[in-house]
Amino acid sequence: MLAEFPLQQIIDEEGNIVNHSYKEQITKELALSLYRNMKRIRMFDRKAISLQRQGRLGTYPPFEGQEAAQVGSALALKDHDWLFPTYRDHGATLTFGIDMHRLFLYWQGRLEGLVPPDNKRIFPPAVPIATQIPHAAGAAWAEKKKNSSAAAIVYFGDGATSEGDFHEGLNFASVFQVPLVLFNQNNQIAISVPIEKQMNSKTIAQKGIAYEIPSVRIDGNDAFCVYFETKKALTAARQGNGPTLIEAVTWRYGAHTTADDPSRYRDQDKSREKPDPIERVEKCMKHAGYWDEHAITLMNKEIETEIETAVMKMEKAAPPSVDDLFDYTYHHLPDSLSRQKQQFKDFLRGVNYEHH
């Protein structure tokens, strides 16, 4: 199956164009947009890890190493499209337009962090593995029934392909030919389980065959390839040609989450030797004469300011409400939960009474 699904690439690890049919499309504007967004989400990611270590955020899942996969795919979307992320796709949601301070609030465990801008269709991050895939298929089906031009993209990792929701989502998407891009970030390890222990298949792309879904396997660290292949899949979806499965082969440099110790299951020194997707775009820009050191320095300072402003806004947010823990499951709160809610409020106010 490796021969049937070769790894597609537009630029190599040294930033050289290897697929010259895209040469004219690799414009300065596109290269700079990819580079800026990738640097922005990496700087966000590193800041989030630092905040977690200081106790200012909760457990956090880093994505460093996967910037090309997330930025390239999210930049291919149109404003009215749907984005269904996992818990590791905050780089994609940032690129698509979620407010940065809200994303910080989400990793504080705040309800406000789930609210996208009014003009963006961003589903709450899915922490249970693969549950977002049937949701995305359903949303795409609804857009098809409305005869809209909107499409959906759903992100998932290699581990998700072992879940029933993955197969149910693909089957539904195929049967109803919905406008959906199934975007797999194959970072080659599901928490601590390497892909060779996760599945016997040679590729994830080949899993689309059973459902008659067109599939492609791409270099997920080649931002240009990710962008153009995702755009191609979205165009097919809008034209009524149904779903596409994209396997983006990438790598996460760091831990599964900040509660994880990756050195227990892999060599971290070798992990860091993997080619950097941001450096690859930088090399490409230098080859093309697009690189401007002064402009890049200013860009980095702008991003730093944006991040620090978002942190301050997060920390100035009003304290969370106790009501948020109780009010969004039942239409009418049961008496037992109403009592618990009141007791919790009394506790926070310092009321001391015996619990019966």
Active site residue 35: no
Structure-block tokens of residue 148: 């809209």
Active site residue 252: yes
Q: Which of 324, 326, 320, 350 has the alpha carbon at shortest distance from 340? A: 326
Q: Select which of 102, 135, 252, 280 is catalytic.
A: 252
Rounded to an integer, what distance in angstroms lies between the CA atom of residue 55 and that of residue 201? 41
Q: Select which of 42, 88, 90, 256 is catalytic.
A: 256
Rounded to an integer, what distance in angstroms lies between the CA atom of residue 29 and that of residue 24? 12
> Cα–Cα distances in Å, from 215 out to 157, 187, 203, 313, 350?
16, 18, 11, 42, 59
Active site residue 328: no
> Cα–Cα distances in Å, from 301 out to 143, 295, 296, 306?
40, 10, 9, 9
Structure-block tokens of residue 59: 């457990």
**Count of all residues that appear for the chain in the document:** 356
Residue 161 contacts residue 126 (beta carbons within 8 Å): no
**Could you write out the DSSP letters of every residue in 106-165?**
HTTT-GGGG---TT-EEPPPB-STTTHHHHHHHHHHHHHHTT-S--EEEEEEGGGGGSHH
Q: Select which of 265, 266, 330, 339 is catalytic.
A: 265
> Cα–Cα distances in Å, from 30 out to 17, 39, 230?
15, 14, 14
Structure-block tokens of residue 344: 């919790």
Q: Residues 218-247, buried b or exposed e (16+ Cβ, 10 A)?
A: bbbbbbbbbbbbbbebbebbbeeebbbbbb
Structure-block tokens of residue 335: 């008496």
Rounded to an integer, what distance in angstroms lies between the CA atom of residue 78 and that of residue 201? 33
Q: So which residues are the catalytic ones?
A: 252, 256, 265
